[in-house]
């Protein structure tokens, strides 16, 4: 899956350039995220600004990624588009995964 990572302000910022995280792409997403997050220290910010759609498999993959990073590193989400936001809201997973309006809002929080 097309994803890129960089370090910024103590965070590992990973941007998903694919437009969908769905049943066909959930495994590739998990593998790629693990590679990009690596063993770096900071929290991970996942930028979903280009992602138009996440299905239940994609949601499960994001939760799995969050659990794989815990307890040392947290996963933050930014840039949720409307349909993606709806999936998180309906399943109430927005209550357990920190979601920020944009990258600046996420980076303004202290890592750790």
Partner 1 sequence: MAIDRFLTFRLDARDGEVRLTLARMTAVLVGLGIPPDDRASVEIVLAEILNNIVEHGYAPGDPGPIWIALIVEPAAVQVTISDFGRPLPAALLNPTEPPDPQSLPEGGFGWFLIHSLTTDLRAGRTRTLNRLSFRLPRGATKSDVPQSPPRQQ
- Which residues does 32 contact at the CB level (< 8 Å), separation at least 6? 1, 3
Nearer Cβ to partner 1, position 20 or 32?
20
Residue of 63, 65, 53 whose CA lies nearest to 24: 53
Please state, in angstroms and rounded to a whole number, the distance separating the CA atoms of residues 16 and 75.
14
Site string for partner 1, 79-108 (x = CB under 8 A): ---xx--xx--xxxx-xx------------
Out of 67, 102, 104, 112, the only residue in the binding site for partner 1 (CB under 8 A) is: 67
* Piece in contact with partner 1 (CB under 8 A), picked from 4-12, 37-45, 61-69, 101-109: 61-69
Residue 110 token pair: 């202290």
Phi and psi of 104, rounded to 5°?
-60, -40
Q: Which residues bind partner 1 (CB under 8 A)?
A: 20, 22-24, 53, 55-57, 59-61, 63-64, 66-67, 82-83, 86-87, 90-93, 95-96
């Amino acid at each position: 899956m097309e994803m890129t990572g960089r370090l910024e302000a103590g965070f590992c910022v990973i941007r998903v350039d694919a437009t969908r995280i769905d049943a066909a792409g959930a495994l590739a997403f998990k593998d790629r995220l693990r590679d990009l997050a690596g063993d770096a220290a900071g929290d991970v910010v996942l930028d979903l600004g280009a992602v138009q759609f996440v299905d239940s498999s994609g949601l499960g993959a994001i939760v799995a990624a969050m659990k794989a990073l815990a307890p040392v590193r947290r996963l933050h989400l930014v840039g949720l588009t409307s349909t993606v936001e709806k999936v998180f809201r309906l399943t109430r997973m927005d209550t357990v995964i920190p979601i920020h309006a944009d990258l600046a809002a996420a980076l303004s929080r202290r890592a750790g």
